[in-house]
Amino acid sequence: MSSTPAVPSMNMANFSLPYPDELAKQFGASGFVMSIRRLYELLAREADDNDPVEAALLRKAAGHYPDTYPGGDVIIRDSLTNIVADEDDWDELTDKQKIFRGNVNAAIANVDRIRYELEMMIDSYDVADEVTRVRRELAAISI
């Protein structure tokens, strides 16, 4: 093993950690790419129970970086935060694919509605604990 430290490289959305030479040769991969936004979101989730203020700061920092696909490409979104497709492929989809995409969009709309309702309930002390629990569960499944 080399005694020289591996230096990660970065761009506006990702950083890349190089694999040790022997692993890179064995698996044919040069390194691990991770979204900066995803890292902040993971750290925020870890801090949720112990330090909510720190978790909020980490989530705010995550908001300054774009979403990325697992390979590192930036996810382009419209003004309503919907993912913008590279091209309009609706006519090329099968009926099953169209139904799936419609169901996904409907699920996203439902989650957005739940988040809105939770924001409206946040000032009520009677349900504050339940609202916090539901918001954390939504955050857990959205990451």
Summarize pLDDT for 43-88 with one digit per residue, the tens.
999 998 899 999 999 999 998 988 887 777 887 777 667 777 665 6
Name 77's bridge partners.
Answer: 83
Task: Give residue 62's Cα distance to chain centre.
Answer: 9
Residue reference for tokens 């064995």: 26
Please provide the average confidence, as pLDDT, over all residues in the chain. Answer: 79
Q: Model confidence over 105-138: pLDDT tens digits?
A: 788 788 778 777 777 776 667 777 887 888 788 7
pTM for this model (two decimals): 0.51
Vertex 128 angle, CA 123 and 134, to 5°: 115
Lowest mean pLDDT among 90-94, 98-102, 118-122: 118-122
